[in-house]
Amino acid sequence: MTDELPKTHAATGAADREAAPGQPLLRIEGVAKTFGTFRAVDGVSLDIRAGEFFALLGPSGCGKTTLLRMLAGFEAPDEGRILLGDKDIAQALPHERPINMMFQNYALFPHLSVRDNIAFGLKRAGMARADIATRVAEMVALVKLEGLEKRKPDQLSGGQRQRVALARALARRPQLLLLDEPLAALDKKLRESTQGELMELQRRLGTTFIIVTHDQEEAMTMASRIGVMNAGKLAQVASPRELYEAPRSRWIAEFVGDVNVFDGETKLRDGHRLVIGTRDAGPLVVAEPREPVGAGKLAVAIRPEKVKLSRRGPVSEAGYETAINRLDGVIADVCYLGGSTTYKVKLETGGTVQASVANSARLDVDAYSVDQQIVAWFSPDDCVVLQS
Amino acid sequence: MSARRIFARPARFAAIAPYVWMVLFFLVPFAFVLKISLSQTAIAQPPYDPVFDVTAGWDALKAALAALSFDNFRLLASDDIYVFAYVRSLTVAVTATALLLLIGYPIAYGMARLPKSWQAVVMVLVIVPFWTSFLIRIYAWINILQHDGLLNQILLALHLVSQPVVWLSTDSAMYIGIVYSYLPFMILPLYATLAKMEPALEEAAADLGAPPWQVFWLVTFPLSLPGVGAGVLLCFIPIVGEFVIPDLLAGSNSLMIGQTLWLEFFTNKDWPVASAAAIVLLVVLLVPLLLYERLQRRQLELGR
């Protein structure tokens, strides 16, 4: 999706040069890494634009951390190039790269104070003493750690440690900041507020962030683009919305959020509509996908919040399609989640479908109970057709 | 708030056990030695005077107490033999400990960086020599180091020397013996601290622009200091009092305090002077011990 990037971007020497916003800062070309017989990263190509907040998302063992470690220089790729500006840094040592990393468990130096932790990278860069003091003060203010400069890491709370790690990684003003599961060690409430702070910080500094996470909600919240990895390969690179609403494969659809998937085959093609015969839910009408699908095995995916429920069938709405998908069944399971309720509907055709209904009223007049006869329905436009 | 309610009875007993041990096997014998060091040598059984006799009554006990003196300590301070022996003991211990650290650190570091499955194997290799008696191993060194021993044969065969080198009864032989014998005591605590160090710390240092030697000096080494302290103490203290290795491998022209003590005790039958020498040695060794103790307490206060 980033193939339209100009081939000769302004790069006439110094690799340290800041690329213009929107230009690729980092270009990963066919990078692969094998540990023994395990191919951890299997030919990944990806462009990271300057100033973007990019998330590498995937289940554990998918190769996202290995890819990040290759960007930091802790692993050398067996194949491929990593271009920063126009310089291939694939084999450069960690201390030679204008890239910094925030480690998963922060890796703060336990024998150094907050101040010395933050100043560590500046001293290595040979900065003047007075400049170091100024920069440290600046970073301390940036992450709101005033008054804690003399503390050792083990005299800090988890949230404070996380801030020190962030300040230390940002102190050298890296072109690229790598964040390895930066919020995994924080509790839920703190994690949510920290997500907001990280995004705010990234916007303010304009530094390019690459975050590695297994938490899809975290990736969706923070990143402007997400690269989903599976088994060492990039499965899809897209905006959070595109990833959720137009997943490219069944695996992605199931990995990102909840989804109902019905396997089937094309039965009928009628202009911009497609009828797919499914085993579990009978024939389903779907919109013709943008990329034409073959005639073979297909799957229809529908997100639970796009499945509506009612006692008597599709509620008449102005302008809704007549070719609606209507499934009869009984409520098999009710799961109340506060903001919404998830119903599991056992269909007459044999399958089950999940519907997530927002609890928009405080009283339970709209709630359904187990064993109740119900009609589940959804629009063809809300279905995604996937190659199975 | 009271600890009593927290600990069950067996736990309370376990907490007392070390103190009982200390009193029975350290403080009581120490009191004996201290008392003997304040006595005078005598041709008698036991070979010192006065002897406390609780059955002899209060006056006799008071007379015996009055007879105690610090003469032996004055002798130790005034006679060069003892001063030299202490100085030599400390010199040997400092040199040997430095050598041990120089040799042991890279080995421990290498071990800690091995794949996990190999670490156990190497650990066994470090410990295996303990399965043979210490004395036999030192005798083996005599064999290796003697005039027509293995070392000289190898050196001659490699044409590194034209005639056999005198190894036995030299300081070199003694240092070889000490370093060989104490190496595991240096390696094991170092290995323990290095192995549990989070690898991400070194990576973070490199990531922040430190080349490998700075990573070592600014992060790895400072964080391994508790291990260095433990290893140094575990080697330094017994080496100061070492008797067997210098006696078997070093020359006889300068003695360590352990050898001097042995001479006083067994050859001269001067128990009081030997006891005084032992007490002084203990005091000398208390200095590094207390320093280490303070260091450890500071570490604990830091919460590590």
Tens-digit pLDDT profile for residues B250-302: 888 888 999 999 999 999 889 999 999 999 999 988 888 888 888 778 776 65
Residue B210 has pLDDT above 80, yes or no: yes
Whose CA is closest to B261, among A149, A340, B246? B246
Q: Which residue has the tokens 């634009």?
A: A49
Whether residues A73 and B204 touch (CB distance < 8 A) is answered with no
CA-based nearest residue in chain A for residue B206: A95
Measured between CB atoms, does A154 come within 8 Å of chain B?
yes
When the candidates are 2.40.50.100, 3.30.450.40, 1.10.8.80, 3.40.190.10, the CATH number that belongs to A258-387 is: 2.40.50.100
Residues of B in contact with A150 (CB under 8 A): none
Interchain proximity B200–A110, CB inside 8 Å: no
Element (H, E) at A172: none
Q: Which of A256, A251, A231 is nearest to A67 (CA)?
A: A231
B143 sits in the region (left: phi over 0; alpha: psi -120 to 50; else beta) called: alpha
In A67-92, which positions are buried (b, 16+ CB within 10 angstroms) versus exposed (e)? Answer: bbbbbbbbbebeebbbbbbbbebbeb
Q: At residue A13, does pLDDT exceed 50?
A: no
Kindly identify which residue of chain B lies nearest to residue A105, measuring between CA atoms: B200
Say whether A141 sits in a helix, a strand or coil: helix
Residue A5 has pLDDT above 50, yes or no: no
- pLDDT of the residue at B55: 79
Chain B interface residues facing chain A, Cβ-Cβ under 8 Å?
198, 200-201, 203-211, 214, 218-219, 222-223, 302-304
Structure tokens at A276: 């797919």
Query: For residue A1, what pLDDT is reported?
Result: 39
Alpha helices in A206-347 (DSSP H): 216-222, 240-245, 250-255
- Range in A115-129, B3-17, B197-211 the model is least confident about: B3-17
Does A265 score more than 90 pLDDT?
no
| B221 vs A319: CA distance, rounded Å | 73
Average pLDDT on B101-107 reads 97
How near does any CA of chain B get to the CA of A74, in Å? 7
- Between CA A384 and CA B283 the distance in angstroms is 83
Nearest CA in chain A to B200: A107
B212 to chain A: nearest residue by CA? Answer: A95
Mutate to test the interface with A, among B193, B198, B207 (most CBs of A within 10 A): B207
Q: For residue A310, what pLDDT band results from cuts at 50, 70 and 90? A: confident
Report CA dihedral (B32, B33, B36, B41) to the nearest 10 degrees. Answer: 140
Amino acid found at B4: R
Radius of gyration in angstroms for the set of CA atoms belonging to chain B, rounded to a whole number: 25
Amino acid at A281: A
Query: Among B175, B177, B180, B153, which residue's Cα sits nearest to residue B164?
Result: B153
Tokens, residue A212: 């590695």
Distance of CA A146 to the CA centre of its chain: 32
- Residue ranges covered by each domain of chain A: 24-98+174-250, 258-387
Task: Say if the Cβ atoms of B210 and A124 lie within 8 Å.
Answer: yes
Question: Tokens in use for A205?
Answer: 């500094």
Which has more confidence, A282 or B216? Answer: B216
A76 to chain B, any CB pair closer than 8 A? The answer is no
pLDDT of residue A12: 32
Q: CATH 2.40.160.60: does it fit domain A24-98+174-250? A: no
* Complex ipTM value: 0.82
Q: Which of A58, A94, A56, A61 is nearest to A76 (CA)?
A: A94
Token pair for A90: 């694939």
pTM of the model: 0.81
**Residues from chain B contacting residue A107 (CB–CB below 8 Å):** 198, 200-201, 203-204
Domains of chain B: 73-301 (1.10.3720.10)
A105 touches chain B (CB under 8 A): yes
Residue pair A293/A267 in contact (Cβ under 8 Å)? The answer is no
**Torsion A287-A292-A295-A297 (CA) sign:** negative
Tokens matching residue A335: 């799961």
Taking the CB of residue B196, how many other CB atoms lie within 10 A of it? 10
Among all residues of chain A, which has the CA nearest to that of B198? A107
